[in-house]
Amino acid sequence: MTTATKTAVANGADEIQQKAASDADAVQTGVNIVAIVGSFHRHLLALQQSGVRGDELFNHPVALSFTSKLSSLCRMTLDRELDALGAVRRIERGEAVEYEVISL
């Protein structure tokens, strides 16, 4: 049994999507993680309020672009991700954790 690929259309004529795309492009050279996350959050809310929801929001080019930038800033690898998830669990239990810092 084969599964049909679902697609969606990002509406370039929509001002909300245009602005989100513009900022998603602009942050690709940024290094301020707080500003990038704030912009990402603002645009995800705007897209959601304009009717882009669920899988279409998770897979929207703007969401993927911001996610890619955050992954890049954090120097994400599978090992770093697994280490971080383990560290989060230990922090939740009140433990101190040591973690690697990779400079930009």
Structure confidence by residue, pLDDT tens digits, 14-63: 999 999 999 999 999 999 999 999 999 999 999 999 999 999 999 999 99
Q: What percent of the chain has pLDDT over 90?
A: 93
d(CA 98, CA 86): 11
Are 86 and 46 in contact by the 8 Å Cβ rule? The answer is: no
DSSP letter at 2 equals P
Confidence (pTM): 0.88
Can you give the pLDDT at residue 9?
A: 93
- Residue 72 in this model has a pLDDT that exceeds 80: yes
Sketch the domain layout of the chain as residue ranges.
Answer: 15-73, 76-104
> What pLDDT, on a 0 to 100 scale, did the predictor assign at position 1?
66
In this prediction, residue 104 has a pLDDT band, given cuts at 50, 70 and 90, of confident
Q: What does the pLDDT look like over 30-43, one tens digit per residue?
A: 999 999 999 999 99
C-alpha closest to that of 21 among 74, 67, 72, 60: 60
Whether the CB-CB separation of 69 and 28 falls below 8 Å is answered with yes
Q: Which amino acid is at 64?
A: L
- Res. 4 pLDDT band, cuts 50 70 90: confident
